Structure 1
Amino acid sequence: MEKMERLLYEASVEGNATVLQSLLEKDPLILDKVTLNQHDDMPLHIASMLGHIDFVNEILAKKPKLSLERDSQRRLPLHMASAKGHVDVVKALVSANPDACSAGDRDGMNPLHLAAVKGRNEVVKELVRAQPHVARALVQQDTILHLCVKHNQLEVLKLLIETMSDHEFVNSKDADGNTILHLAVADKQIETINFLVFNTTIEVNASNTNGETSMDILSQGPNDTKYQQIIRCLTRSGAVEAEKESFFAPIPQNSTNKTGFDNKKYYKKPHLEKDSKNDNDDWLDKKRNTLMVVASLIATMAFQAGTNPPSGVWQDDSTTDPLHRAGFAVMVRNHPNYYHVFLVCNTVGFVSTLSIILLLISGLPFLRHRVFLWVLMVVMWIATASMSLTYLVSILALTPKPDSKPFKNVVNGIIFVWISLMTFLVAAHAIRLMEIFHKSPHSRKKPLST
């Protein structure tokens, strides 16, 4: 009997279906006996693990119930075939017993879980097609998506999300309240993060049980190259850090929760100065970027207006008029006073915006101060006002009857509104600047010592 069992074992390793048939003719119960006496060297498990499809089909034809036999790790033959990626064997086993798809091993993992963590895409497709509900089974409160991220299986993750197409499934949380985005950020899986943020319905500002968002998780790691790439990706998607107020809740001394764990570990120590500095830096960066964009736009407009003045340029030369030369501005001859005002205002706007651009790209350390930014904003106001006057002078030069009363009323009304708006902005910012200086520590008087 031991000799036949050894032959059966060797046949299962080699995938020799002919030997299997011969042994079954001699002893029709040999498969049952081997399964009863052994736990890890069962023929169907071995053949499934090695991908011997003919051998597997022969056993399933004779004893289909053997597909539900478990080894010492509580694994079915389908677990072995799924982990190894043998698609044909998986199809045969699923066809013999579809319930095997939902069977969990000693760790609670079903065949689909094993295929996912091993990156067996074709097996995952087959199992999900056969039994879609098994994809929702949990492993110690981890979904199959959490397992994919933990084992860095991006392709399987994409396949499952596209196949399931379920918002709640994508945003499922593990025992610690972490979504798959939390895990991907913690492990700095850049490709996974990009996929989740831009191709799924993941909630980028979801919080875990500690009240941490994905941005909070990222801030806990080193500021390296991956950090910079991830923070740009998360910022573009609208991700923010958790509300600071949630970290300042009073914590009773020596308090514990109902399970006996110390509550203090679930709270962060507030870093007011650091958070304030980061917020200030973010505000300054946004303002500088806005100034750069607007300055570039105004500089382009001023350059075009300077090289292509209103009314254009002469296309030929005149022998009698020295101002009538090819390439000279027509406005110089027809409206000399307007042209001088036009040229001055346009030049002021052009030079002002170029100065802003030059200072912003210089990288000087004092550029990160609010006062300097306020100065740049004043320069931008001057440039904007200059371009407005440039436009007004151009309209006056191009309008056939600038002395008509309706035209004057409209122009005067526009000028009045513009001057009022500029006055309001200058006054508001001046008052704000004085309040900043008044509230600064250096402006406060020291109390008299007694």
Structure 2
Amino acid sequence: MEKRLSDAALQGNVTSLVQILEEDPLILDKLIVSCISETPLHTAATLGHLDFLKELLSRKPELAAELDSCGCSPLHLAAAKGHVDVVKELLSAGGEVGLERNTDGRTALHVAAIKGRAVILAELIRVNPELTRVLTDRGETGLHLCVKWNRLEALKLLVEENGKDGELVNWKDCEGNTALHIAVAKKHIEIINCLLTLSGLEVNALNKSGLTALDILRQSPRDLRDMEIELALRKAGASSVKDLHLITDDWIPQKARQMTKRLSSQETRTKKPVVKHKSTDWLGRKRSALMVVASLIATVAFQAGLTPPGGVWQDNYTVDDKGNPVNDPHSVGQSIMAYQEPKSYGIFMILNTIAFLSSLSIILLLVSGLPMRRRRWMWVQMIIMWIAITAQVGTYFVTLRHMSPNDVEGVLREVTEISVLTWLTLMVVVFMGNAVRMNLWVLRKYGYIKEKEIQTEGIEDDEEDMLE
């Protein structure tokens, strides 16, 4: 009998339904008592069999409140499918069918909003306007869901019905996001423009992270729509948190508050202005720069060591065609430059080895994990880096001299001498400048020179006491 009833519901056959009910008048009551997952009314509501549904409701109106395995009532299913006449009939059954929530915590209005069924929304609101105030488990209204699923027509209908309700338009979900927050995060431009036309909209509302809609836009991945969205928000008076000057003491981290109190007490004792330094990670920047440069030099030196100027021999040549020993034998894989210009090759390999080992030493020190975070250790590493760079420059000039033909030797010698002299001059200037800075730091550290209060932010010497 239940199988026949299920088949009649699938076909929407009212005649079969009447015949079954005549044969077993209690079959509908048995369905309710048996707690089956889906009633014939669910099937009729899903497929839009209006006449079949009317006959069922006339015989057993309480079927409208029955839920399936997903917690959905027949109204949920009809709203999702967009069967307006079926929705009207189910609403006329009375009771609180519109307030039933499924396992996802959504009412029929929420389902209609997700599906973009504007006509269904209008009918639900007409019958019970309070349905717009029913929230999901995440504290979302139908307006939130329309925005999240980009249902513009459904959104416009909700706005028309509740446009003057500022509380609904500015309602915040469990994360403190209003409909505008979600629209900006999703970058639904048309919905954003629609929301910005509402007079009661709070464009600078804050979510639980303390962000406005403009802040969310700036923190989201960038694309071509950002400029248009930001322009629309700006025209509506949107601002970031910094522009609103809404930072309170509760937002300041504990360590920052302690530092502020310490500075205030120091200022009170000394009666002098306290110098505030910009928090610049000098050592971090230097370590990162040294790692990059050292890696590049090590790569170049390694490649130069394996492929010296002129290349390597590609064969073994120890005897001639007659089997007699040759005067200038060589073996495969050995450097050609080492046979032709052994003195220049020796200088080349010495300089290249110094550059290679110096750069590897820098990398090893940086990744070793040793406690070398003080400035003096950083100076040592920088000196090693100067040695590596200088050796690499020397390697370049030796290679250049070897690869150039004899007819340009005079011009090349002049260019080399000028280049080397320029490089040595630059090295001397850099060395002297850093030597002076180090001497001044030592004198200040041991009290021979009184350190002046420097108002300029970001001066590296002023950060030494903090790093020590």
With structure 2 as the length reference, what TM-score do the two structures score?
0.52
What is the correspondence of 1:37-436 to structure 2 with a 5 Å cutoff?
Answer: 37-140=34-137, 141-164=139-162, 165-243=164-242, 246=247, 249-252=251-254
Give the number of the structure whose alpha-carbon radius of gyration is greater.
Answer: 2
Structure 1 79/180 Cα, relative in aligned 2: closer, same or farther at 3 Å? Answer: same
Structure 1 179/245 Cα, relative in aligned 2: closer, same or farther at 3 Å? Answer: closer
Q: Judge conservation of contact 2:65–2:73 (CA < 8 Å) in 1.
A: yes
> Gaps (5+ residues) in structure 1?
256-270, 274-438
Aligned alpha-carbon RMSD (Å):
2.8
Aligned to 2:12: 15
Please report how far the alpha carbon of residue 36 of structure 1 lies from its aligned counterpart in structure 2 after TM superposition. Answer: 2.8
Structure 1 241/25 Cα, relative in aligned 2: closer, same or farther at 3 Å? Answer: same
- State the identity as a percent: 45
Q: Whole-Å Cα distance in 2 between the matches of residues 134 and 212 of structure 1? A: 29
Aligned to 1:336: none
- Deviation sequence 1:273-301 (CA, Å, 0-9, x none): 9xxxxxxxxxxxxxxxxxxxxxxxxxxxx
Q: Give the letter aligned to residue 215 of structure 1.
A: L
Deviates more, 1:49-58 or 1:78-87: 78-87
DSSP-derived class of the 2:187 partner? coil
Q: Judge conservation of contact 1:8–1:23 (CA < 8 Å) in 2.
A: yes
- Deviation sequence 1:77-108 (CA, Å, 0-9, x none): 11111111111111111111242111112222
Structure 1 142/254 Cα, relative in aligned 2: closer, same or farther at 3 Å? Answer: farther
Q: Judge conservation of contact 2:14–2:52 (CA < 8 Å) in 1.
A: yes
Aligned to 1:24: 21
DSSP-derived class of the 2:238 partner? coil
- Deviation sequence 1:233-272 (CA, Å, 0-9, x none): 11111111112662884312699xxxxxxxxxxxxxxx99
Structure 1 89/254 Cα, relative in aligned 2: closer, same or farther at 3 Å? Answer: farther
Q: Judge conservation of contact 2:38–2:67 (CA < 8 Å) in 1.
A: no
Structure 1 124/193 Cα, relative in aligned 2: closer, same or farther at 3 Å? Answer: same
Q: Whole-Å Cα distance in 1 between the matches of residues 228 and 188 of structure 2? A: 11
What number of residue pairs does the alignment pair up? 262
Q: Whole-Å Cα distance in 1 between the matches of residues 126 and 141 of structure 2? A: 18
Q: Does 1:6 align with 2:3?
A: yes
DSSP-derived class of the 1:96 partner? coil
Please report how far the alpha carbon of residue 198 of structure 1 lies from its aligned counterpart in structure 2 after TM superposition. Answer: 2.3
Q: Whole-Å Cα distance in 2 between the matches of residues 62 and 236 of structure 1? A: 58
Structure 1 210/162 Cα, relative in aligned 2: closer, same or farther at 3 Å? Answer: same
Q: Whole-Å Cα distance in 2 between the matches of residues 272 and 198 of structure 1? A: 43
Please report how far the alpha carbon of residue 230 of structure 1 lies from its aligned counterpart in structure 2 after TM superposition. Answer: 0.3
Q: Judge conservation of contact 2:215–2:240 (CA < 8 Å) in 1.
A: yes
Please report how far the alpha carbon of residue 166 of structure 1 lies from its aligned counterpart in structure 2 after TM superposition. Answer: 0.4
Q: Judge conservation of contact 1:11–1:19 (CA < 8 Å) in 2.
A: yes
Q: Whole-Å Cα distance in 1 between the matches of residues 47 and 256 of structure 2? A: 57
Please report how far the alpha carbon of residue 35 of structure 1 lies from its aligned counterpart in structure 2 after TM superposition. Answer: 3.2
Q: Whole-Å Cα distance in 2 between the matches of residues 254 and 7 of structure 1? A: 74
- Deviation sequence 1:180-220 (CA, Å, 0-9, x none): 10110011010011111124421111111121111100101
Q: Whole-Å Cα distance in 1 between the matches of residues 131 and 99 of structure 2? A: 6
Q: Judge conservation of contact 2:64–2:90 (CA < 8 Å) in 1.
A: yes
Please report how far the alpha carbon of residue 74 of structure 1 lies from its aligned counterpart in structure 2 after TM superposition. Answer: 2.2
Deviates more, 1:29-38 or 1:60-69: 29-38
> Gaps (5+ residues) in structure 2?
258-277, 281-453, 463-468
Structure 1 441/48 Cα, relative in aligned 2: closer, same or farther at 3 Å? Answer: same
Please report how far the alpha carbon of residue 48 of structure 1 lies from its aligned counterpart in structure 2 after TM superposition. Answer: 0.7
Please report how far the alpha carbon of residue 24 of structure 1 lies from its aligned counterpart in structure 2 after TM superposition. Answer: 0.6
With structure 1 as the length reference, what TM-score do the two structures score?
0.54
Q: Judge conservation of contact 2:38–2:69 (CA < 8 Å) in 1.
A: no
Aligned to 1:418: none
Q: Give the letter aligned to residue 47 of structure 2.
A: L
- Deviation sequence 1:53-74 (CA, Å, 0-9, x none): 0000000111111111122222
Deviates more, 1:244-253 or 1:188-197: 244-253
Q: Give the letter aligned to residue 73 of structure 2.
A: L
Q: Whole-Å Cα distance in 2 between the matches of residues 250 and 48 of structure 1? A: 55
Structure 1 272/13 Cα, relative in aligned 2: closer, same or farther at 3 Å? Answer: farther
Q: Whole-Å Cα distance in 1 between the matches of residues 25 and 200 of structure 2? A: 56
Structure 1 188/55 Cα, relative in aligned 2: closer, same or farther at 3 Å? Answer: same
Please report how far the alpha carbon of residue 41 of structure 1 lies from its aligned counterpart in structure 2 after TM superposition. Answer: 3.0
